């Protein structure tokens, strides 16, 4: 089942996503039961949430709501870099396939929701796109065995992991600055529960810019698949319910064109994959 977080008349709430011939509708579970989507994950109550969704009568149309990232109170957003094999080859540095995943952390306020504009800051014109599949952790844990790892997945969502390219080399050893400008990325449009996913190792991920397909790959080509990522991260951190893990972007980001093609105001970026749907966002300059 699919669940979204959103605002209606300025109030933050959440509910299930209903797709039918008349378009999208959204139940309002938050109105009658409080909490947020992360609460149901943290209390291991997604089955109860699904039952509530089936009996919820309050529905809004897609045009009435303002989308938010589905998880608003998770503790961590862990991002895996250079994880698709073709993406690694794209660097053309003759390096061997990495032995371990690259990792950086992002913060929630560096993201916005579906149908919202991402923001190009005045510090740089090098705003780039990166379409990714995101794991939402259900059952937390430390030192999770690889064979048990996918049981810790509550849901999946999508991310445009927007990056300010010249700021990921702003200092000597880190990429944090270029990955955390406010509202440069986006998460959504909603999450799909893990029981809807047949095979985590066979999920498509695609990114379009202004209708042109720029990225196209499948999780079968990940150097570090979902189970490995979860097990590896839990070696040195405790993964908690509601934490999100972006799993890497395919080749075809704007920085890899010759010359590079960065996002500009008015561009439209669409990310599709994993049976979630399409995450769509425009681009605008920051209004100072």
pLDDT for position 178? 96
Using the predicted structure, report yes or no on whether residue 143 has a pLDDT greater than 70: yes
Q: How far is CA 274 from CA 170, 197, 288, in A?
A: 33, 8, 37
State the chain's mean pLDDT as an integer. 95
Q: Does residue 124 sit in helix, strand or coil?
A: coil
Looking at residue 151, the DSSP 8-state letter turns out to be: G
Q: What is the CB neighbour count within 10 angstroms for residue 208?
A: 19
Using the predicted structure, report yes or no on whether residue 90 has a pLDDT greater than 80: no
Once rounded to an integer, what is the mean pLDDT over residues 18-35? 92
pLDDT for position 92? 59
Domains along the chain?
2-66 (no CATH), 69-285 (3.90.850.10)
Write the pLDDT tens digit of every residue in 232-288.
999 999 999 999 999 999 999 999 999 999 999 999 999 999 999 999 999 999 998
What is the pLDDT confidence band of residue 165, given thresholds at 50, 70 and 90? very high
Write the pLDDT tens digit of every residue in 168-201.
988 888 899 999 999 999 999 999 999 999 999 9
Once rounded to an integer, what is the mean pLDDT over residues 122-130? 97
Predicted TM-score (pTM) of the model is 0.95
Nearest to 55, CA basis, from 29, 89, 24, 22: 29
């Amino acid at each position: 089942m699919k669940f979204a977080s959103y605002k209606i008349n300025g109030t933050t709430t959440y509910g299930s996503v209903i797709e039918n011939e008349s378009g999208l509708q959204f139940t309002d579970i938050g109105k009658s039961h409080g909490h947020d989507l992360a609460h149901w994950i943290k209390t291991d109550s997604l089955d109860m949430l699904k039952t509530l969704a089936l009996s919820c009568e309050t529905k809004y149309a897609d045009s009435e709501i303002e989308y938010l990232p589905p998880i608003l109170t998770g503790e961590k957003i862990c991002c895996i870099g250079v994880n698709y094999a073709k993406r690694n080859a794209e660097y053309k540095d003759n390096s061997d396939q990495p032995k371990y995943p690259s990792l950086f952390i992002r913060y929630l306020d560096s993201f916005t929701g579906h149908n919202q504009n991402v923001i190009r800051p005045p510090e740089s014109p090098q705003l780039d796109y990166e379409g990714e599949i995101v794991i939402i952790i259900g059952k937390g844990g430390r030192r999770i065995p690889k064979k048990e790892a996918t049981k810790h997945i509550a849901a999946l969502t999508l991310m445009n992991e927007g990056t300010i390219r010249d700021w990921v080399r702003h200092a000597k050893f880190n990429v944090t600055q270029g990955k955390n400008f406010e509202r440069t990325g986006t998460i959504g449009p909603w999450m799909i529960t893990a029981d809807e996913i047949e095979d985590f190792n066979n999920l498509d991920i695609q990114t379009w810019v202004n209708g042109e397909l720029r990225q196209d790959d499948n999780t079968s080509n990940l150097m570090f698949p979902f189970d490995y990522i979860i097990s590896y991260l839990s070696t040195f951190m405790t993964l908690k319910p509601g934490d999100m893990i972006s799993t890497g972007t395919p080749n075809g980001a704007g920085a890899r064109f010759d010359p590079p093609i960065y996002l500009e105001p008015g561009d439209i970026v669409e990310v599709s994959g994993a049976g979630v749907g399409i995450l769509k966002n425009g681009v605008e300059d920051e209004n100072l």
